[in-house]
Chain A
Amino acid sequence: MSAIFQELQPRLVQWLFRNHMEPRGDVTLDRRRVFILPTRAGLIFFLVALTVWFGSLNFNLQLGFLLSFLVMSVSLVGMYQTHRNLVHLAVREQRAVPVHAGEVAAFDFVIDNPTGEARYAVNLAFILPRRRRGVSRRSTEQPLQGVWVDIPASSSERASIGLPTRRRGRRDCPRVRISTRFPFGLWEAWAYVSPQLTTIVYAAPEVDAPPLPGGSGGDRDVSNGIVAGNDDFAGVRPYRPGDPLKSIAWRLAAHSDELSVKLFESSAGEETVLDLSDLPPGVPLEQRLARLTRWVLVAEGAGLRYSLNLPGVQIPTATGQAHRARCLEAIALYPGS
């Protein structure tokens, strides 16, 4: 019997979810996409109501009948309410910001509630492969992971779900389970969303990396980003959060409402070449990539012009956020050994 079931299960699941899992990307949770089943608490609740009913039958307690029927009816209405709390919501993908391996990648969604009723306690959580979920089974008892959002009537709310990353590379957004147990926790309505969001997980920058190669060889404070040597003063730019305090042009600040940062260009026009093949081959590939990642961050932070050479990938000399992103992405996607 169980063998037959095991054989049938994947097909059953496929059949059940056939129409509902297909669309990817933005999705409106219409009726056909929303599933509902009693929770464990709901089943126990039903058993309790049944017991009360049974006792009333035996002792002919009219009020006992009334009690059991009342709680059953209320929980039944709860089923409609739970379903109603989820249906007609629309999940829009927004963005995924790249992170370094080891950090938590946030996938942002916007949930639109086009209806005239507020939605409460809507949970969004990733469905992770089974081995990651590990313990499971008793998960119904524990509060759900993920994020909770309340969405007022005719309004939208942002939900950002975090996904811990471990390895560099491209990371597709896992399937999202959007669910609710509001109002009484006796039923759970849920739907699946298969987002098309993808993020790049950059390699984790190497800790204690050696200084940038080439250049004037001056004494550089690589960790600060902004080079503070005895190089030429190259101008100011507006303060950005994260800039070191000692690089702020305080004199300028006294005359102005805005903070500015002094820029020193150690070797204007000079370019730094970051080349994988220049690194000692004895160092493992991942560590070399990590070092390159660090160097890209340092070089960009120092306002240097730099280029990146990986076997098969050449990124010409440039500077700026877009350039940095290109370089980091190239490193992240570099085929592993």
Chain B
Amino acid sequence: MSESPALPLRPARRRPAAATRRVSAWLQPQLSGGAREQRDQAVLLLAVAMVVAPHFEHLPLWSTVVIGLMWIWRAWLAQTLKPAPGKFTMALLLIAGTAAVWIEHGTLFGRDASVNFLLVLIGLKVLEMRAHRDVLVIVFLSLFVLQTQFLFDQGLLSAVSMVISVGMLFFVLLSVNLPEGDIALTGKLRYLARVFLMALPLTLTLFFLFPRLSAPLWGSGGDGLQSGTGLSGAMSPGSIKTLLRDDSVALRAKFEKRAPDQRKLYWRGPVFGFFDGRTWSPLPPAFPDTEQRVDVRFEPASAVDYTVTLEPTQRRELIALEFAGRIDDVPTTDARLTPTLELQTGAPIVNRLRYRVRSYTAFSAGPYAADGRLALWLQLPEQYNPRTLEWAAQLKSAAEAESLHDRGSAATRLDRRLVEAVLLQFRRLPFRYNINVAILGRDSVDEFLFDQRVGYCEHFASSFVVLMRAMGVPARVVTGYQGGEINPVDGFFTVRQSDAHAWAEVWLEGDGWQRIDPTAAVAPERIEHTLRERRTEGLAGLQERWTWLGELRLDREALENAWNQWFLSYSADRQRALMSWIGLRPNLENVSAVAVVVFSLLLVGLAILSLRRRAVRDPLAELTFELRAKLIDAGVDVPGTMGLQDMQDHLEARLDPQCMPDTRRLLADLATARYARPVAGRQNLRLRNLRAALRRWRPIRALPPSRHGPAAAPASGRRADCQ
């Protein structure tokens, strides 16, 4: 039929290309069931992909591939409108998936296994999705999957992606709840945007005011959630090296006044006193309960006040500048100062923690007089590092001889001379600072001091302490962070894992424990410069030379820090602090009361907003009203009850014939707009045209019958201004 040119029934129009059809299926309302279903399924698949994709980073490869394959399979089924696989296939897949998870993790519980299992489940559910109910199940599963992602990452990006995903899930819900009619894409998006905007104040109120509990409900909560990076409980060869390459943040600090000089920024961490030849570990507590008090002398003028936000470490040490004289606002448990001046809490730090510290950068720690327990700090492994021991003996006898000869400096005690002597050797001999060295052999100190002479803080601190101990001076290794970097955008000081450092402390009679940093003797730039300055010398520094890139990084980090400060570290304590800021007593009752009040107010506000019946004026009625007003202005009276049709007859007699064509057209248009079937999207245009036509329209009263004489003065006046 359509080939026949004689029949103009079907105009020879090219069928729209498949791509055009697809785009319009996405944008335009769809009335055909098939097209709608395809589109809604595509949106659902997209939402699921968005929810699942962040997990691929920590999923085993096979599971990523399997989930991806199921997803693609489903997409193919949806596009070809083929039925989902049957029950038998699904059961088989489920068993296979469960078994695979079991084999991979050895369990179905625990973080990684359960996340993996959940993802396999959602993959299967997507594959077999059939009905409305399945869509709901997938949406619900997606919410769980979204949450599990936060076990791995709670950064700003995760938050943004979460909000987008939730938006898509609600988009899916919106689409499936339109059983027959449909709304164009932009309409749906606008609707969703409005709903989310209304939900925003509710969400924020709940987030900030819903009573928080400070302790986990069961288990140790975050135990094993974050893989622990950071200082460890022992210093074995290479343990610091991995940290030096890790750019992640260890802690952030905000100094109340100026930050101290870079050289004074020693953030104290674990202290080690026991050396087995390879690994430094803490001294076993020889005198566990007796005399825990430490006699610390400090210079009050060197006080620094600051707030630390510590990333979770899974360890009990709080990191602070040496020496932490006072510590406040530690939310979890009592922090105490150990005899080795470490700050410890009762429980491992599993969440980001904020606390205020006052530190005294100029200090020394007791005991100041010789003490039997000091012998513990002289421990050395037997049969290790013979060359070092020999060298130590040489150095010591030389120093002794010198002190015998040099009567003038008799005041300088022997132990101080020994320290000086060793540091002098470190400076004089060709030692070099370099991170990239191989792990040393059995007599590591020997190899470092006599053969390799290249290393980093770990080597310097370790061999210095071994030398001092060999010479009979009590000494210990202190690990922590050195330095940090100030972000000029927000003034926060950032200390990274790569700022990890190890230094030494020696006990000098009368002066107590004193910090000696042998690395500084060899590579003073390690201490004096910030990380970034050091970097510019290496390969990693290449990108830092592009200053804008560096600035971008600082901006991003300031943003992330603000996110961490204001959002992620929000806790029960911050909530109570908020209460006292409002002026209420910071307890749970007040938090609940404020939450209830604010939330109720919001609900009432929303109710008023949505129940208020907008006084909708019918635009056409308004136009008709305007038309009447114009006629009355022109001196023509029109009864209010008169319909459009009657009005035309009515006006034929009363208006000047010359403006009748316009009038007729206007009335006809009004009637069309009122009674004709509205064409989607056209009604507004029609109304706009009508409004314009009405504005142009100038009704003129017909000349009154001759018995009134020549045109009445007022009428002619009107006529003038009407024309």
Contacts and interface: CB of A to CB of B under 8 A. Distances in A.
Nearest to B139: A45
Interface string A170-191: 0000000000011111100000
Contact of B151 (A52, A61, A76, A114): A61
30 contacts: A45-B136, A48-B143, A52-B144, A57-B213, A57-B216, A58-B218, A59-B222, A60-B350, A61-B150, A61-B151, A62-B567, A63-B158, A64-B150, A65-B210, A66-B203, A67-B146, A67-B147, A69-B203, A71-B166, A73-B206, A74-B170, A74-B195, A76-B199, A80-B198, A87-B611, A121-B181, A143-B179, A149-B181, A154-B618, A185-B176
Interface string B328-352: 0000000000000000000000110
B163 A70 contact: yes
Contacts of B606: 76-77, 80
Interface in B156-199: 158-159, 162-163, 166, 170, 173-174, 176-181, 183, 191, 195-196, 198-199
A120 B203 contact: no
A247 interface: no
A115 B616 contact: yes
Interface string A35-73: 000000100110011011011111111111111111111
A225 interface: no
Contacts of B219: 58
B132 interface: yes
Interface of B: 132-133, 136, 140, 143-144, 146-147, 150-151, 154, 158-159, 162-163, 166, 170, 173-174, 176-181, 183, 191, 195-196, 198-200, 202-203, 206-207, 210, 213, 216-219, 221-222, 225, 350-351, 567-571, 603, 606-607, 609-611, 613-614, 616, 618-619, 678
Nearest to B141: A48
Contacts of B170: 74, 184
A150 B218 CA distance: 50
Interface in A72-114: 72-74, 76-78, 80-81, 83-84, 87-88, 114
Contacts of B611: 31, 80, 83-84, 87
A244 to B, nearest CB: 28
Interface in A125-179: 141, 143, 148-150, 152-155
A153 B207 CA distance: 36
Contact of A184 (B140, B177, B207, B213): B177
A316 B351 CA distance: 95
Contacts of A185: 136, 173, 176-177
A58 B132 CA distance: 32
B162 to A, nearest CB: 6
A145 to B, nearest CB: 11
Contacts of A148: 179-181
Q: Which of A49, A51, A58, A68 has the most CB of B within 10 A?
A: A58
Contact of A61 (B154, B610, B614): B154
A261 to B, nearest CB: 28
Given A63-B154, A183-B195, A57 B217 contact: yes
Identify whether the interface residues of B are mostly helix, strand, loop, or mixed.
helix
Contacts of A149: 181
Given A67-B162, A70-B166, A70-B203, A115 B179 contact: no
A120 B225 contact: no
Closest 10 CB pairs of A and B: A150-B181, A73-B202, A73-B199, A69-B206, A116-B616, A80-B610, A148-B180, A184-B173, A185-B177, A63-B150
A183 B191 CA distance: 9
A44 B154 contact: no
B613 A115 contact: yes
Contacts of A141: 133
A29 to B, nearest CB: 12
B174 A184 contact: yes
A71 B607 contact: no
Nearest to A153: B616
Contacts of B166: 67, 70-71, 74
Contacts of B136: 41, 44-45, 185
A295 B613 CA distance: 56
Contacts of A70: 163, 166, 199, 203
A71 B162 CA distance: 11
Given A55-B147, A59-B222, A45 B140 contact: yes
Nearest to B192: A183
Interface in A244-272: none
A80 B612 CA distance: 11
Given A59-B216, A84-B610, A121 B180 contact: yes
Contact of A63 (B162, B222, B613, B678): B162
